[in-house]
Amino acid sequence: MNRLKVLLERPFYRYVAVGGTVYVFEILAIFIAQNLGASTLVAVGLSFWLGFFLSFALQKFIAFGDKRTHHKIVIPQLIATAALVLFNFGFTLLVTKLLENVLPTFITRTLALGITTLWNFYFYKTRIFSTPPRNPGNEELID
């Protein structure tokens, strides 16, 4: 248990733990939606968007410790995250198309997921959720 605590002190491990948690959440959302009568398409769409917003909140507050909640901070972060998700989607389709005759689909998806996981971490840590040093004239945006 102590080792887990030490690991979770590092942002990358919190990032991966949040990702795994959101994945499980999305699968449960699909299961629940379908049991309530939703079609497969509606269930997956619902789980995607619920997962997107949950992931955004957990990555921001837990994985990267960005506690800023002012709309002038959160809205650009949300837009940047959405742009990154769209880019990742295009990249995933490109990798799938380029390797469709070489590797099984689940391998190409896993490869694309591994690559996007790494650069997402970098962009979240250094750009999207990076917190600037305290600046006395900017408290309302930091707190």
**CA-to-CA distance for 58 and 53, rounded, in angstroms?**
9
Q: Is the pTM of this model over 0.85?
A: no
**Sequence spans of domains, the chain:** 1-65, 67-132
| Residue 131 and residue 68 in contact, taking contact as beta carbons nearer than 8 Å | yes
In the numeric block, which tokens belong to residue 131? Answer: 């917190």
Q: What is the mean pLDDT of residues 52-58?
A: 97
User: pLDDT of 80-91, one tens digit each?
Assistant: 999 999 999 999
What the block records as the tokens of 67 is: 């506690």
